[in-house]
Structures are given as C-alpha cells and as structure tokens.
Chains A and B, each alone.
Chain A
Amino acid sequence: MRNPQLNAKGELRHLLTIEGLPREILLQILDTAKSFLGVTEREVKKVPLLRGKSVFNLFFEPSTRTRTTFEIAAKRLSADVVNLAISTSSQTKGETLLDTVDNLSAMHADMFVVRHASSGAPFLIAGHVKPHVHVVNAGDGRHAHPTQGLLDAYTIRHYKQDFTRLSVAIVGDILHSRVARSLIHALTTLGTPDVRVIGPQTLLPTGVERLGVSVHHDMAAGLRDVDVIVMLRLQNERMRGPLLPSAGEFFKAYGLTPEKLALAKPDAIVMHPGPMNRGVEIDSSVADGAQAVILPQVTFGIAVRMAVMSILAGASA
C-alpha cells in the first residue's frame, strides 16, 4: 500500500503520521528545523518562503496552544494564516467535514493544518483535496500528532545527539495519547533501541508492545537508567472513572517526583507536551527543575513546524 503522505517521487506531500515515513525524511525535517531555529533568533524572524500562500488552521477540536504554534510558524514563513475553529455543532447542521474542506478550498487554501477529534480525519481530507494542496495533521483523535512527535525527537536530539544509544521512557496515559504514538514511531524509526511505556494496565492500549516498545507498570523499574523521560498529560475526564480511581492515586504511583527522577540517569532530561497538570503527572519541583526541557520544547516546536510546512509546500503533487 502506497504511503498516502508521499508523492510519486517519495517526497513528503502531507504530514499525517510519522508511522511508515523513511528515516531520511525525519532527518531532513530535523535538519531543516535546525536552520529555522536560527531564523527565530534573529531580529526579523521571518523568511519569505511561503509568501503569497494561504495556510488554513482548521481546528475541529479546540486547542489554542497548538493552533498558535502553527500560526506563528506559518507567519514566520510569510504565509497568510486563516484560523478557523469549527465547532462540531455546525457540522451537525448538515455540512460534512468534506463540505467544509471544499468550501475553504474554493478560497484557494494552499495548506490545511487539521486538528480533529476523530482518528484518521486528516487522511480523509488529504485524500480529497486537489493535488497542490497540502495537509498537516495537528492531532487526530488518539491516532497521531506528528509535529509533536517530531519536536520531541528534535528536543531529544538537541540534548542527547545520538538516538541509537538512548533509553526513553514515556509515562502515563498511553491509551488515549496521540503524542505517545507519534513519538514511539519517531524514536523507533530513528533507531532508538530502548523505548519504554509506563502506566497502569488500564491506560495502556492492547498490543502496544507490537509498536516496538517494552511495557512497564512500575516506575522504579521503568525509569531505571533512562536518558529521557516523557510525561504525558492526564486528561481531566480520565482522572476518575473506570480507568483510574483518582488523580491523587495516579500521582502516587506514576507522578514524576524528584525521588523517581533520581532513578534515571543523572543527566536525564524531562519532557512534557503540555499543558501540564502539576501534582497529577508531574511534581512542580521537577517541572521547574534543572532537568526539565519543557520550555525549549515549545521553542523547538515552532522551528519544527516551519520545517514541516516549508518541506510540504515545496513538494509537487
């Protein structure tokens, strides 16, 4: 089956998931992002690459933070940015997802940045748009959040250089996490030999080990000697119910405290995709501590999104 993200020449046309992308493309994105990082540190933080192009941020699920990072990235590439928050209620009025996309395409969109609560929605859009239009997945259901996975990979590369000798632990609600899935694919593609997921059985999806990770239920064993710890956000609605009894009980077992952090390598870095729940998955002293690289992640995220958009917009149909 042909990867729907690549054109006939094997260039990246849409970014929908990291799964199945060749290592060279991931490295190209990370290398290009490094160049853009220089741009974001200058007085004029803009380059004219996407001048005259229209980027539509199509958010069917609210997320100010992610939308803003894409908006900044697009603007730094000199694109015109249109932000659309589409409530699912307007969809229930009879306009389908593809109706919406057709409407916006008629306004000459060159790129759609799509966030949707339903896994696979960006694939549907990518399969529907005209050949010159590009689609970036900004998070679909539980499936993928590829730019987050790439910025996580960028961050890890920035601090640890070589993926091929790293141990990385991803902690928390793996079941509902598109961030975890995308990071797992990025790390395994980039040759990370030891990727661990840590969480209670209720928050680990069936067959997750088939993604190339080892499964731990115990932080003491799971964090031992890791180089990187990625803490996932625990959604409010998961904190009580059939999956977990309470936020407090989760924090006790899986919250990252200085004591648990001490099990990792002394130079281990702590990452979090944000927004954090202090005291639920991460202790404030760790979140603000010397090993946390949570704010650099945000900075790198802009450069990574600039890289993704500029590579996509340059790829032919």
Chain B
Amino acid sequence: MKIHIKGGRLVDPRHGLDAPRDLFIAAGRIVGIGAAPDGFSANRVIDARGLVVAPGIVDLAARLREPGFEHKATLESEMRAAVAGGVTTLVVPPDTDPPLDEPGLVEMLKHRAKSLNLAHLHPLGALTARMEGERLAELAELRDAGCVAFSQANAPLPGTEVLWRALQYAATFGYGVWLQPQDPSLARGGVAHDGEVATRLGLGGIPSFAETIALATVLSLVRITGTRVHFCRLSTAEGVAMVRAAKREGLPVSADVAANHVHLSDIDIGWFDAHFHLVPPLRSIRDRDALRAGLADGTIDAICSDHTPVDEDAKLLPFAESEPGAVGLELLLPLTLKWAADAKVSLVDALARITSDPARVLRIGTGHLGAGQVADVCVFDPAAHVRVTPEWLRSQGKNTPFLGYELPGAVRYTLVAGHVVHEAPLA
C-alpha cells in the first residue's frame, strides 16, 4: 500500500518542522517528505488541504480495562477510541485485574492488541507482586514479555524500604520506574484537593504535600540509586517546582500530566459532580497554572489522557464512593490544542508534548515523521471543533468532565504502520 498525503501542513516537533509538505508512505514506512521518491505511484491519495499532518499521538497512560474490567471497556472498544483520537501508541498501566505482574498476562495482552491491528500497545509491568507493595514482581521476566517500564499505577507506593530496594533492583538492569507521587497515608480517605472546596463540600482532602513528600522521598532515592524514574500525573505547583529542580540537578527523571489537570481545578467539581472525581485530585487554579507553566518550559515532558473508562453505575454514586477517572483517548489532541490556544504555545511545541516527548520518555523510536520511520500519522483539522457527547465518544466509557464541551481539533485520518485505521472525512 502506497499512500500520498497531499497538500497538508506537516508538523513534526522532533525535527522542528511546520511547513506545507506532502508525505509519502510505502510498505508501512515513511519514504518521502516533500518530494516523492523515484518511481512512487500512490495506491491512495489523501487530500490533506487545510489539515495538519502530524506524528501519531503517543499516550503515556490509557487503561483499556482488559483483563478484568470488560464490563467497563474492552481492548477493542478502547483501541478504536484511541485511533479515533489520533493515538497510535499507548502505554497501559498495570492496574488490570489481575494486575500485570505475570509475563503470561502481558504476552496475552500484547497478542490481543496485535491481532486487532490498531494502535501499538506498550504495557507497564507491576513493580511489586499484585501491586501490594510488599514483594518485587519478576521485573526481568516481565521485561522480556514486553513491559516497557514498571509501575504501581494508582496503587499505594510501597513503603520506603521496599521502594528503595525496587529502585535499586530496577537500576541494576537499567529499567525505568513510573511512579505516581502520592504519600499513601496522607491520601487515605481523601477524594478531593484539601482546600476550600473540599472544606465547603465536606469531602475528604488530599493535601498538596501528599505529592511533595512522596516526590521528596523518591528523589532522595533516585540520587542514591540512579534509577530512571518517570513521575506520573503531577498535580501540584510545588511538585512541578521539585521536578524542575531535579532536572536542573541532572537527575534522570521525567514527568507527565493528565490532560484533565491542564484545564480543570477543584472548583469545577461544582455540586459533587463525580465526573470530576479523578486521581490525583483536581487541585487549585494556582496548581493548574503551574502545571501549564511546567508544560510550557518542558519540566513536564508529556500530556497523557490517563484514559479510564468507568461504567455509569460506578459514577452514579455519591462523590466519594464513585469510581475515580475519566476517559480521554479521544480528547487528548483537542485538550492539547486548547491548552496551546489558551497558553499561546505554538502548534509544534504543543504537539511535541503528545508525540516526540512522550516517545523519548518511552525510549521508543516513534513519535516523529523522519524518513524510514514506521508511518504512524495523525491527520487532523485544526480549525474544526468537536462536541463532546456520549454518542460522539467511541470509548465504551462515557465518563468525562468535558461532556457538552466544544473542543478544537477533529481527527480526519489515523495511520498506524502505514495503514489507514481510522478515517472521518468531513461529515
């Protein structure tokens, strides 16, 4: 299959490119940029006039809910949602049921994903057995089965001693560890940012220092062990400052933020709207602004969807009892574009946070449109808007704080390894 993407605006952050260029694809790879290679004759020409041609999106956190939570979503439903959102590579946290602490589970997941032939899937392995924070999982076995790094997902961080040993062990083999920095004892019973809103609503609070204390602990251990650590879902202004300082210090750390947290704050909870029940909690406007600043200056490497399909029954509960999380695979691009517009960030820089930068965190070669690259491409209309409704969402989960919003950026074509896996030409 030879594809010619014609007349588009090519935006490739890795190469700092934002210019009108045609893209030529053959045998699943990019074979020409600007000019067609000799003798190229396209089987298909995609008219990309007025559209942006970008690398496929790399999402550092998307729960597909298999195995164990198939009533909330399935691999197939969520992979289709991913490509509808222009996401061609996604990282799956290990918080399935059972958790991804067995090589067999990981292999099965990878196999199932491959047979669907949609997006590339990279599982994170559990850092500790059953993610209970007591015993190390078989990291090397999991690595061999295809895990890109190791994580506790949203399960409590292990105690300091186990954490230290886990980081040591991972460093021994050069594995990366992804941690959501939150002190478990300070977060216990909390469902919202410990501030005026939680006080008003009588919701259990999670103080900002639950994040900074965990960050301080992990950073201290990183100084000792040298482990590559990726901090998942930063939520506080102080946390951003600590990661900024750690990077300046030269520690091997990176960080991401969930798209929801780039836009929302605890005030948006309103009268107990469970769609705003997220992990970590939505914090103050000041925190949100600091997250945006951290994104702009590169302290935060990536925006992820933190996609979490939740069935309706689990959201139709009092706020604290509702299951946290929001879907986001299809909103990652629109929310990134909205951030770019709000914060006056260039399209190249904005797209870097969902393509080349997360690919760098993952240490995979994708996330750009260099010649010879696997042709993962997202073609979208930057001027069109999408209206977020349950019907519009392809994800089986309809839970998002952005229901009813109009957001910029409509994906027209998604290509994975040179195949058009999603197309939605002008309706």
Contacts from A to B (Cβ < 8 Å): 1, 4, 16, 19, 96-98, 116, 118-121, 123-124, 128, 140-144, 178, 181, 205-208, 210-211
Contacts from B to A (Cβ < 8 Å): 194-196, 198-203, 205, 207, 270-272, 313, 316-321
30 A–B contacts, CB within 8 A, in A order? A96-B313, A96-B317, A97-B316, A97-B318, A98-B316, A116-B318, A118-B320, A119-B201, A119-B203, A120-B202, A120-B271, A120-B320, A124-B272, A124-B317, A141-B203, A142-B203, A143-B202, A143-B203, A144-B202, A205-B198, A205-B199, A206-B196, A206-B205, A207-B195, A207-B196, A207-B199, A210-B196, A210-B199, A211-B196, A211-B200
With a cutoff of 8 Å between Cβ atoms, the chain A residues found around residue B201 in the complex are 119-120, 143
The CA of A123 and the CA of B318, in the complex, are separated in Å by 8
The CA of A97 and the CA of B315, in the complex, are separated in Å by 12
Whether the Cβ atoms of B318 and A120 lie closer than 8 Å is yes
Whether the Cβ atoms of B200 and A118 lie closer than 8 Å is no
With a cutoff of 8 Å between Cβ atoms, the chain B residues found around residue A141 in the complex are 202-203, 318, 320
Whole-angstrom distance between the Cβ of A208 and the nearest chain B Cβ:
6
- Whether A206 contacts B207 in the complex (CB less than 8 A), given A143-B202, A144-B202, comes out as yes
Whether the Cβ atoms of A119 and B319 lie closer than 8 Å is yes
Whole-angstrom distance between the Cβ of B330 and the nearest chain A Cβ:
26
Whether the Cβ atoms of B195 and A206 lie closer than 8 Å is yes
Whole-angstrom distance between the Cβ of B315 and the nearest chain A Cβ:
10
- Whether A119 contacts B202 in the complex (CB less than 8 A), given A97-B317, A98-B316, A124-B318, comes out as yes
Whether the Cβ atoms of B318 and A208 lie closer than 8 Å is no
The CA of A192 and the CA of B279, in the complex, are separated in Å by 38
Closest to A99 in B: B313
With a cutoff of 8 Å between Cβ atoms, the chain A residues found around residue B198 in the complex are 205-206
Whether the Cβ atoms of B199 and A206 lie closer than 8 Å is yes
Closest to B203 in A: A119
- Whether A119 contacts B196 in the complex (CB less than 8 A), given A143-B201, A181-B202, comes out as no
Whether the Cβ atoms of B318 and A121 lie closer than 8 Å is yes
With a cutoff of 8 Å between Cβ atoms, the chain B residues found around residue A210 in the complex are 196, 199
Q: A205-B199, A211-B199 are in contact. List 11 more A-B contacts (CB 8 A).
A: A118-B319, A118-B321, A121-B318, A123-B271, A140-B318, A144-B202, A206-B194, A206-B205, A207-B195, A208-B199, A211-B200
Whether the Cβ atoms of B316 and A124 lie closer than 8 Å is yes
The CA of A208 and the CA of B198, in the complex, are separated in Å by 10
Whole-angstrom distance between the Cβ of B100 and the nearest chain A Cβ:
28
Whole-angstrom distance between the Cβ of B208 and the nearest chain A Cβ:
10
Most chain A Cβ neighbours within 10 Å, of B203, B270, B271, B317: B271
10 nearest A-B residue pairs (beta carbon): A120-B272, A143-B202, A142-B202, A118-B318, A207-B196, A119-B202, A205-B199, A121-B318, A210-B196, A120-B319
Whole-angstrom distance between the Cβ of A4 and the nearest chain B Cβ:
6
With a cutoff of 8 Å between Cβ atoms, the chain B residues found around residue A19 in the complex are 200
Whole-angstrom distance between the Cβ of A16 and the nearest chain B Cβ:
8
The CA of A168 and the CA of B321, in the complex, are separated in Å by 35
With a cutoff of 8 Å between Cβ atoms, the chain A residues found around residue B321 in the complex are 118
Whole-angstrom distance between the Cβ of A234 and the nearest chain B Cβ:
17
With a cutoff of 8 Å between Cβ atoms, the chain B residues found around residue A205 in the complex are 198-199, 205
Whether the Cβ atoms of A1 and B270 lie closer than 8 Å is yes
With a cutoff of 8 Å between Cβ atoms, the chain B residues found around residue A121 in the complex are 318
With a cutoff of 8 Å between Cβ atoms, the chain B residues found around residue A208 in the complex are 199
Which of A4, A97, A116, A142 lies in contact with B271, CB distance below 8 A? A4
The CA of A65 and the CA of B1, in the complex, are separated in Å by 76
The CA of A118 and the CA of B321, in the complex, are separated in Å by 8
Which of A123, A142, A207, A211 lies in contact with B272, CB distance below 8 A? A123
The CA of A3 and the CA of B318, in the complex, are separated in Å by 18
Which of B194, B272, B316 lies in contact with A119, CB distance below 8 A? B272
The CA of A178 and the CA of B202, in the complex, are separated in Å by 7
With a cutoff of 8 Å between Cβ atoms, the chain A residues found around residue B202 in the complex are 119-120, 140-144, 178, 181
The CA of A4 and the CA of B271, in the complex, are separated in Å by 8
With a cutoff of 8 Å between Cβ atoms, the chain A residues found around residue B196 in the complex are 206-207, 210-211
With a cutoff of 8 Å between Cβ atoms, the chain B residues found around residue A120 in the complex are 201-203, 271-272, 318-320
Whether the Cβ atoms of A181 and B207 lie closer than 8 Å is no
Whole-angstrom distance between the Cβ of B415 and the nearest chain A Cβ:
42
With a cutoff of 8 Å between Cβ atoms, the chain A residues found around residue B272 in the complex are 119-120, 123-124
The CA of A132 and the CA of B297, in the complex, are separated in Å by 54
Whole-angstrom distance between the Cβ of A115 and the nearest chain B Cβ:
12
With a cutoff of 8 Å between Cβ atoms, the chain B residues found around residue A96 in the complex are 313, 316-317
The CA of A123 and the CA of B317, in the complex, are separated in Å by 10
With a cutoff of 8 Å between Cβ atoms, the chain A residues found around residue B200 in the complex are 19, 181, 211
With a cutoff of 8 Å between Cβ atoms, the chain A residues found around residue B205 in the complex are 205-206
With a cutoff of 8 Å between Cβ atoms, the chain B residues found around residue A119 in the complex are 201-203, 272, 318-320
With a cutoff of 8 Å between Cβ atoms, the chain B residues found around residue A206 in the complex are 194-196, 198-199, 205, 207
The CA of A143 and the CA of B196, in the complex, are separated in Å by 13
Whole-angstrom distance between the Cβ of A174 and the nearest chain B Cβ:
9
